[in-house]
Structure 1
């Protein structure tokens, strides 16, 4: 006689099946909201790490240093734009809102992608090195969900890091320089409210420019069990690609390198906005995200998790 036939029914008779234990049912049928709980946990854990806070602190300090340097140079009687420098720097003394554009232009080539590379490189390799990766996979998330959660966390950090630079620059610009209507690259005048709107669009464009770096770092993170090695490799690849993007003899290859269109966000300060390079940048970042994201999934799905 089977287990179901032997089990007593509601009135003590036979024939009532025995329900599966609650824990067993939970393992077989993971709740959809569990993934959001994992994502929230990953974001909170990433932001609370001292390394992440240190990176955000460095990013927030860049606009402060740029603003103070321009202020001191202005007091000395020299022109802020006489020595070149990042785009919009010559306009900072006339309108503090230009400090936002200048700070983003100054941090995008190195500081922002380096910070993203560190976080992305540590995403999987850091868990493996700490011995916590297999415990994460015991939960009913699966490797694909975990990888998507890690990548989403890195993209959230991209947005957070960019907003930290922009907000810090806006505060410093308001404290050290006048605010008001501003002149676009095309020579037209726009109001301060519209200027703030374009600053937000520029911040979003800069954050989107880091999607390719995030995917590359996540892929590298699946190749090793050392977080430090993954972070160093990602940053090294970032520097190498940027060097290649500056070599004139490689002009045919450069449009396919992920940093090539990074500074296209300046076209958002044209009137009307010039969308060509902005669109190319987004398409290129999406391509890198698809290629390296797929490579990361293929590697992580077949990875032997022993720690």
Structure 2
């Protein structure tokens, strides 16, 4: 009698765990957000509060390839010279995997993006020098006043981790929160919340945001805006659901708005720029910064004032004159 599916799954899991032994300490380190193995076998990690650094550990190419093949097997896929690239999710740890084997690389390589295990507060960002105290107050006030906040940055810049800090503030409002993402990375302690994972093409970001309106949310949070669903999000934010938060890939606060416009045009050519100017209140840009002890820095926090058809009107975000610290 052939082994059952459960037995096969257990055997695969055990084999993968053994193969991952060289990086087990990094997989279990709550501060590490990414583990990378280059073609030379050296292991690099990116850790919150420390930035990216080489661990000094070196893996043999055969070890790296074995991990990749076991990962592929775990998700019922394959990796070979005809299928040299793998995108998958690491069982148990929930990490996102991107791997490649020859001939598209000189030697097997992979990157594991870990889900956030530590949730930092805005006070933590102030303590590490990433965020100024006044800027933290601006963001707290923006959450309290139900402003829509867009967080931008490059890959691995810490957008999701920063949004989790904002969500700690959101959780204290008592609002009903609707969260849309494609990987379960956002963490919100709100008692009244609904978390939805999209699965394109079966269930898309656009459909999830449209469905949100029927679940009576106070705030709609989108893990990452990356396609024409941006237009649906803006319409939702602008029609009775203020106080939203989303992330976007961009190089500056202004380019965040340009990128959002490009995404909207995927759904509607010549999408109205005024809708973006009306819906987005605050843009926060975070970047990787090798010169900063924490490896990250906030490069800008601006308030969106409007647009003239060509340019965006923004100014550094600041507290209103009548702002008071909440008791």
Q: TM > 0.5 between the two?
A: no
- Highest RCO, 1 vs 2 (Cα 8 Å, sep ≥ 6): 1
The structure that is strand-richer by fraction is: 2
Q: Which protein shows a greater Rg?
A: 1
TM-score by length of 1: 0.29
